[in-house]
Amino acid sequence: MTAQSSTGSESTRPDFGANEWLVEEMYERYLADPSAVDAAWHDFFADYRPAAGPANSVRQAPSTGAGDDEEEDEPQAGVAPAAAQNGHAATDGTSGTASTTAAEPAAPQADSQQATAQPAKAESPKTEPAKAEPAKTEPAKGESQPAQDKPAPSQPAQATPAASQPASTQPAAKPSSTSPAVPSGAQVSVLRGAPARVVSNMQASLEIPTATSVRAVPAKLLADNRIIINNHLRRARGGKVSFTHLIGYAVVRALRDYPEMNNHFAVNADGKPTVVRPEHVNLGLAIDLPGKDGGRSLVVASIKSAEEMDFASFWGAYEDIIRRARSGKLAADDFAGTTVSLTNPGTIGTNHSVPRLMAGQGTIIGVGAMEYPAEFSGMNPDALNDMGISRTMTLTSTYDHRIIQGAQSGEFLRRIHQLLLGEDNFYYDIFGSLRIPYEPAIWLTDREFSHEGQIDKGARVIELINAYRTSGHLMADTDPLEFKIRTHPDLDITKHGLTLWDLDREFAVGGFAGQKLMRLRDILGVLRDAYCRRVGVEYMHIIDPEERAWIQQNIEVKNDALSREEQKHILSRLNVAEAFETFLQTKYVGQKRFSLEGGETVIALLDAVLAAAAGYSLDEVVIGMPHRGRLNVLANIVGKPYAKIFNEFEGNIDPGTAQGSGDVKYHLGAHGTYVAPDGTE
């Protein structure tokens, strides 16, 4: 009845949904010590008034009365205001009849309530008496005033023992009609803060009539493309893409085709049911955080306007949310406005999840664990690969049945399934946004070549290795100025009759990379590292087979990551090369200097060559160079003093170093002693 009176104030504060408990907990810390909360929250908390409920039973009530804030966090629950204001008893999520349900047991319990009013006050000394709050909204047969004076229970579990029990145990028995008798010797604890808000949220979620669609999706292509992506990121800019990143992006893409899954149900000011169609997709991420005393807590922060992002932007926004959640830096806007949620209990091995749907959302997607079907759990992994059996994951769509029908939810999951199998260039778009210059793996059925006259797969693998030796340099990433996905038909495994199902199968390779048997995935890794990265190698035109074999033995090897010290040494070489060129450009503007800009890696490369030469005890190395980069090599490799080079820029050239008339600074040579990083000269 009176629940509609609170709708006018709901619009004045954000709807934090399932995160309400966290906001109220932070507000309590803010009241105690503003410096304990991130400064981004200070402006928000300055005029914030939490909704009355179990999480704020020990908080000071506003002097103007709490009627303006009541039930704002649960506009759809329909809880009577008196119940919502009654301290720990606001977890009841009944609708329509909430006020009469609360009032009926009040009459026979009036004596016991008044008799225990003073102990309840003593139990909660920090609670300010809400003097006039329920009087405005709850005319419950004259019994509302005693209930206001004690923010403990409005409905004790049993009338007979209520007076004899200590007041501190009464709030635990709030659900008077359903709570069983407490066994003797059992410990009873009052739920406060986050646990109490969870109770309130779960009670409110019972008001939403939900249904769930379930779909099993093969995870083979998803896993293989994730490996390709992360291998590239490891070699390039760093970072790591998870399965949830890819699945979350597929959910956002699917919402473009099924926008009705982004809608949610609401009741307008006239009490009429409505459908709300948000302007943007705000994807909520369920984040499990370690709580106090070793417990766990769940927050839901959302990526705003996710439908407008490419994958690189989505990945960055996702990681930013997770990073700020771990460090406690989430702001109020991160919690508000979630339209669709994604939860992934599969990370802890859960196969199938039916999560609760909160008010203000129409759909929540659950992702299960990636496992082989149970009937194959005892098989050898090699046998599974030979049979072409993939891991699968279960996707669930729990939706509000008032506005979304089962067919719509099922088609939505089917669309996610199609995208995860690569339809509509899903993986091509991801690779392009991350600037990965290779084609993704594609979904194909397994192929068998067992009939007479067909070339078996072992011979096809040898043919693929030879194709990389001949044409691999055509896919090398040697253009730093332009990005494009490089392909060549001779290097496409599908052109050789192979598919993604062969990647984890072993083949005889006859000594390739020093091995007799290798998985196709490892074979491709060695070939691409040798021929298709930042350096292209072309040598198959060499006639002498021994020379070709020597090159193959030295470049067709597995590349191990450099140690941290080696990486820091290379970085220092690049830094000195860049600093030298920057100084010359700034100091001697307009003078010819044949800069090395854009090719500073030459310094690191020459440094590595000379270090190897020192390791082999070579006495002398003679370097012949063009004009381009000569000064940088003289300064940072040969060791010519900077002062001498700068004097030459001033026109002070030593006549004894000139090799003829008209010689200039970038013609001059020098002698020096090179010292390797290990101290060898």
The set of catalytic residues is 401
In three-state secondary structure terms, 404 is: coil
b vs e for 115-143, b when ≥16 Cβ sit within 10 Å of the residue's Cβ? ebbebbbebbeebeebeebbeebbebeeb
**Residue 490, burial from CB neighbour count under 10 angstroms (0-12, 13-18, 19+):** middle
Sign of the CA dihedral running 25, 26, 27, 31? positive
Query: In this structure, which amino acid lies at residue 94?
Result: T
Cα 232 to Cα 170: distance, rounded to the nearest angstrom: 60
b vs e for 432-459, b when ≥16 Cβ sit within 10 Å of the residue's Cβ? bbbebbbbbbbbeeeeeeeeeeeeebee
Length in residues, the chain: 681
CA distances from 68 to 4, 129, 229, 333, 532 (A): 12, 17, 52, 22, 66
Tokens of 402: 């008032």
Query: In this structure, which amino acid lies at residue 419?
Result: L
**Residue 56, burial from CB neighbour count under 10 angstroms (0-12, 13-18, 19+):** buried
Cα 350 to Cα 457: distance, rounded to the nearest angstrom: 37
Sign of the CA dihedral running 50, 54, 59, 65? positive
Radius of gyration, CA atoms only, the chain:
35
Cα 448 to Cα 452: distance, rounded to the nearest angstrom: 12
Tokens of 200: 């309130």
Cβ–Cβ under 8 Å, residues 169 and 123: no
